[in-house]
Structure 1
Amino acid sequence: MQTVLYARVSTADQTSAHQASQAESAGFDVDLVIADEGVSGVAVPFADRPQARRLFDILRPGDVLVVRWVDRLGRDYDDVTETIRAFMARGVVIKTIINNFTFDGATDDPVQKAVRDSLIAFMAATAQAQAEATKAAQRAGIAHARASSEAGRKYRGKKPSYSRETFEAVQGMLGQGGMTVSAIAREVGLSRQAVLRIREEPEAAEAALARWGV
């Protein structure tokens, strides 16, 4: 049996090494890292990602697939749930770094299956809702930055202390719930004030990234 980490990173600010480090810190002993670099999680279905497709050839019954969160397994609700069920049907156990959830298709107990399937549905819906919120903030930020430019305002303000990866990570953690602002700040290496700004003013936070071309 082997433990494989699947990482998806969409910008140059993100690295698969960072997600591998997170997995190690969470106690996972990873044998192999498979990563799709520069691939959007909200535009490209899981099965269309070059490295993601390799997982169906690599993983065997009893193997463990580790992902940072279920949003790495698809671009929307249907994609995420179908991907999880496809791997479970192959006997693959899926585990998340955040909150250490486990999805195992081996159980035959109807109550355990109901609880598992309900959790999969809830987490997939949460992942899609967060992706849609991120896209909305991106659109608002880009529009705001374009309007400012067209009005001739060249001042970009102070460069954000967060990268695109960090911004998306904070939004993801906020959307999942269960973590305090201070805990999120420690997790991503930002100040508490920066996390609060992203939570309270996501459009303005996104606009700051857009103004700096991040």
Structure 2
Amino acid sequence: MFVRAYLRASTSEQDAERARAQLEAFVAERGLHIASWYVENESGSKLTRPELFRLLKDARPGDVLLVEQVDRLSRLTADDWERLKGELTSRRVRVVALDLPTSWMMATTNTDAFTARMFEAVNGMMLDVLAAVARKDYEDRRRRQAEGQLKAKAEGRYKGRPEDMERNASIAAMLGKGLSWSQIQAATGCSRATIAKIAKRAA
């Protein structure tokens, strides 16, 4: 059994590695170690997350996917969550989340077959609940943000985020030189959405 840790933050301005120490402490308490780390700055509302799917590709049956919270894994719609669950199930990857105590038993091999199946069933149900809660929280925050922006616009206070002209010019130059999006992300710390927007302008 390998423990594969997944760290995610929504934007390039956030620290995706913030929870690294917590995950290391969790496995140390259980006499385990983290075999590999997968870190990315992508929205949890999107299914297209390169590092998450690299983890799934690397995983072998029985491996643990370790996350700080279920919402690091999913803020997905119900349909996309079912697709991700299908991937996890088909690859027989066990999800362990620090905010989901029922999942902690998945990080041990010292259980009989009946107990293991029982915990898998309970854990699956709780994962569904927390994934639904994470999605609702995401939608509620987006709605409140949109309402706040509409109100600010109506009152003449909303200006939007100023564009980083120097950074975007640098991104455009790198695109012109044929650098890959991953290379540009590594060099600038920007999101793929920003690169896509600048690439579209240059098209």
Query: Which of the five TM-score ranges fits, normalised by the shorter chain?
Result: 0.5 to 0.7
Tell me if 1:34 matches 2:38.
Answer: yes
- Secondary structure of the 2:19 match is helix
Tell me if 1:134 matches 2:138.
Answer: no
Structure 2 letter corresponding to 1:32: S
CA 1:26/1:12 → structure 2, altered by over 3 Å: closer, same or farther?
same
Match of 1:77?
78
In structure 1, C-alpha distance between the alignment counterparts of 2:141 and 2:113, rounded to whole Å:
35
Q: Is the 8 A contact 2:102 2:119 kept in 1?
A: no
Match of 1:197?
none
In structure 2, C-alpha distance between the alignment counterparts of 1:122 and 1:34, rounded to whole Å:
25
Which protein has the larger Cα radius of gyration, Structure 1 or Structure 2?
Answer: 2
Structure 2 letter corresponding to 1:87: L
Q: Is the 8 A contact 1:73 1:83 kept in 2?
A: no
- Secondary structure of the 1:52 match is helix
Structure 2 residue runs without a partner (length 5+): 107-111, 160-203
Q: Can you list the C-alpha shifts for 1:161-199, whole angstroms capped at 9, x where unaligned?
A: xxxxxxxxxxxxxxxxxxxxxxxxxxxxxxxxxxxxxxx
Structure 2 letter corresponding to 1:94: V
Counterpart pick for 2:129 among 103, 122, 126: 122
Per the TM alignment, residue 49 of structure 1 is displaced from its structure 2 partner at its CA by 1.4
Tell me if 1:145 matches 2:152.
Answer: yes
Q: How many residues align?
A: 147
Per the TM alignment, residue 34 of structure 1 is displaced from its structure 2 partner at its CA by 0.6
In structure 2, C-alpha distance between the alignment counterparts of 1:71 and 1:124, rounded to whole Å:
7
Per the TM alignment, residue 18 of structure 1 is displaced from its structure 2 partner at its CA by 0.6
Structure 1 residue runs without a partner (length 5+): 155-214
Structure 2 letter corresponding to 1:41: G
Per the TM alignment, residue 59 of structure 1 is displaced from its structure 2 partner at its CA by 0.7
Per the TM alignment, residue 96 of structure 1 is displaced from its structure 2 partner at its CA by 0.3
State the TM-score, normalizing by the size of structure 1: 0.57
Match of 1:4?
4
- 1:50-199 matched pairs, under 5 angstroms: 50-74=50-74, 75-102=76-103, 114-148=121-155, 150=156
State the TM-score, normalizing by the size of structure 2: 0.59
